[in-house]
Amino acid sequence: MSPENERIAICPGSYDPVTNGHLDIITRAASLFDRIVVGVVNQPIRKKKTLFTADERRAFIEDATTHLDNVEVTVFSNLVVDLARERGAIAIIKGLRAISDFEYEFEMAQLNNKIDKEIESVYVFARPNFSFLSSTGVKEMATFSADISDLVPEPVAVALADRLARDRD
């Protein structure tokens, strides 16, 4: 397929840190589109400070998606719709875990549609085993040394343990 006919989607998020739930959504999206651009928000508006830098978060995702030839990861600091336009994307992919996610994502979809009606919002429901999983929950569990090995890629678990140990000292 020629690059101008590629069906490209953006999969944005803070990914602080990336979880196996995020990776499941990215993997499933990669099977639906020709190319997925995972957009790592440089400094999320809804969160005051991230635990990992944007480059660290990008590297975690790149490491965890090396088996997916049609996935690339980039850091962005503008509106997700602007990133989609820059990359020639036709869709923004988001995962939904619960009704609480829906309300926020519905509002974002309407705002994105106001900015660019040509870019679709596409939602992928979390698999049941990931429906409870959030980066915030993982960080909280890791803070108290709970086993998170089945919730995040191994390098993320190691980095979380190291970062949180240093923060406790």
Q: What pLDDT score was predicted for residue 47?
A: 67
Structure-derived torsion over alpha carbons of residues 7, 86, 4, 65, reported in degrees to the nearest 10: -50
Q: How much of the chain, in percent, has pLDDT values that exceed 90?
A: 84
Which pTM was predicted?
0.92
**Highest CATH level, class, for 3-132:** alpha beta
Q: For the segment 1-12, what is each residue's pLDDT rounded down to a tens digit?
A: 556 789 999 999
Chain segment 16-73, per-residue pLDDT in tens: 999 999 999 999 999 999 999 999 999 867 667 899 999 999 999 999 999 999 999 9
Q: Catalogue the active-site residues.
A: 22, 48, 97, 135
Q: Determine the pLDDT at residue 21.
A: 97
Task: List residues bridging with 10 in a β-sheet.
Answer: 37, 92
Q: Please say whether the beta carbons of 143 and 32 come within 8 A.
A: no
Domain locations along the chain: 3-132
Is the pLDDT score of 110 beyond 70?
yes
pLDDT for 166 equals 61
Through-space distance between the first and last CA atoms of the chain, rounded to whole angstroms: 53
